[in-house]
Structure 1
Amino acid sequence: MCGRRYLGFVLLVWFQGVLHVQTSDQPCSAPKLNNGYLIPEELAYNHESKLTYSCDKGRKPAVEGWWATSTCHNGKWSPEPQCIDEKACLPPTIPNGIYTVNTNGWYEERDIIRITCDKGYKHKNRVATAECITGTWSSVPVCEKSIHACGEPPQVPHAVIIFQGFQDFFAPDTGLQYECEDGYTIEGADTKKTIYCLSGNWTQGPVCSRVTRPGPGPVGPALGGTGGGHPPSTGSATQPAGGGTDRGHGGSGGHATSAGSGTQPEWRVNICGNPPVVPNGDVVGYGQRYLRYECSSFYKLDGPEKVVCYSDGTWSNVPYCRVNFCSVDTDGHPHLKSAGVHYMKYGEEVRLPCVQDPSWWTDHYSLVKCIYGRTVVYDCCTRFALKSDCC
């Protein structure tokens, strides 16, 4: 009895698998096209095959052009071949504006649409409607930037903007909140402050100041008396890595000498022990009392460039290397050609190649920007397209 149940279960799973295979990649029957003709004209078409169609006199395809294509996808045609009156209008493209889309996908003659501009934009010459007349739209509205809108918000050192989404323009009265980075605060306020777009300008942003601890005081005179208190001149663990050109009285190879004329300070940077570690940064130079740091590529130094070794054996405040780049994983964007992860510095923009559609007559690219530390990926356009057409 158990064996029969097990066999029945196996057959059920197998049947479902066969059914799944049979229902995927289905061919398409020839579409029913009134007032038009198909090329090639067949009884059935394989999955992912394409056909071309055109329409009789007085009719036109429900897409741009007098010839149109449609693709078979799992038993259905996309887009559905259709011939409409040549006096009908196709949906217009209104940059920075929206309107009610007809469920038919097209509009009859004398149909009127009303365009609503996006926030931060207004109707040029107060034209907000368009009428379909003999297959074309009359007086298509244009949404232009409002003179009271604001552009990109100001960049504030040591602060980031807290908001979702990205845009080139911001509507009047828009508020954006800044927050100081860790280790910084706004004087006389919290760690956050909001700026507003007023009459085309942003109100004043915050000033983020570093939170500092009391230092050990200024560098004093030489330690000990004459002949005593000199630090050892050897020991690789106490010497900074690399040489650099800013070496003070050090010798070649980046090692400080133990000899002195008696008028020089009698301590070296090695009196403070190992150089402070700055993630994503390196010591690129030093003098008798300080180390000089630089950050790796795609990072920006935040804080003092030089770190001083005080006479009591302690280091002054240490900088840190702040992230100064964005990244985009092309494999995470289906419209981009797979090329791994691409890195960009703050404020940089690049064009990445798109996956080519067979209907495109030229290469397409996607504009990618690094804004406020975030990556913005726009739609695909040709290299000849206007900026407003793509982003």
Structure 2
Amino acid sequence: MTPLSHTVVFLLWMGCATCKASAGAACEDPPLIDFGEIVSGHKSAYKESDRVQYLCNPGYTLSGSERLTCHEKIWVPGPPQCLAPCTITKQQLEAQNLLLSNGQRRTFLIQSGQRQEFMCTTGFKLTASPIKQCFNGHIELPSCVTEMPCGSIPKVPNAQIEGRNKEMYEPGETIRYQCDAGFLTVGPPEIICREGNWTAPPFCEDVSCGAAPEIPNAYITSAHQERYLPGARVQYECDSNFQMMGGNYVTCTNRKWSQAPTCRGKGGKCGPPPVIENGDLLSFPMQEYPQGTTLEYKCPSLYVLEGSQYITCTDGQWTSPPVCLVACAASEEDMGRNNVELKWVPERKLYVRSGDVIEFQCKRGYLEDPASSPFRAQCVEGTIEYPRCKPGRSAKVILPVSENTQMMKLKLN
């Protein structure tokens, strides 16, 4: 064999050896990580598809994949990290006036990524969210600031407080109200001192009843009072020649009297007719009326009679009387407060009957308020809901002009 042949054979042998070496060693040693180590799969040489597993030191949290695989000479998906926990000491909590959410104060660890809820000690309040998250050894503790004390407690009419009244109350202190007899507590009965102010106090609603109802042809036998507590009873007796129909008493329940009894005339006769507000009988009233008697009522001018104008004595009782609905007066003072005036009528004061409609418009220099009620207002039993106008951009202040003209009334038929 010639020297050239020996050279070719040597080169071929060296090339094959290099290929075998490359095929046998696919990856270098896996990367080392801080605060952790490889716990399985460790070798002196690594080939394709070999795997290793990492584990963090106690207290540290692994971020990323705990397993790496040798693939095409690199370790995938990349080395993990071991994130440090957060240490919170008792001294840190005391310095910040903080407690743990369970009310304790002690040294403890929070794993990276975990959340912890805090609270302030008595007399302090949080200025931000009470929940904070630990990340790789760092956690931002919330801040507590001093709460302001509260002054004297709010006065609630018809209520008493439980406990001693003071001039100054500490943050978090609670006061409880007790409504007087005949009053119902509306809203939470307790108030709390927070941020220098008291929470909203309750309201004591009057649930007592006023004077007992008057019953035609009857009189009250129990003691007369101007105000009755819930549960109180008032008893009645009928006049002579009248008979009680139903129970002989009424009961006060939540500001209302129960259904009153009636006194029916014996032999079908009726007593004096009922009196109606703002209305009159067209005949002189008597103490007794025979069965079948019919009487007529009339309302004053501008009042509207609602119901039948007649009542009839039937089986010792009068049928239901009518009602006189009160008129409305659209006055210059009321219109001036709302910056409106009458649209079609020139008078400064207008009288209308219940149910009639009055139309308003804005005064010069004013615009309709978007939140206003309709400008066509209806008289409802003596009440008008006025619309409102607000000053326009070019509105000018117009001083009132003194006039000696007499107020006029518009009579509607």
Q: TM-score, normalised by structure 2?
A: 0.24
Larger-gyration structure (1/2): 2
Q: TM-score, normalised by structure 1?
A: 0.25
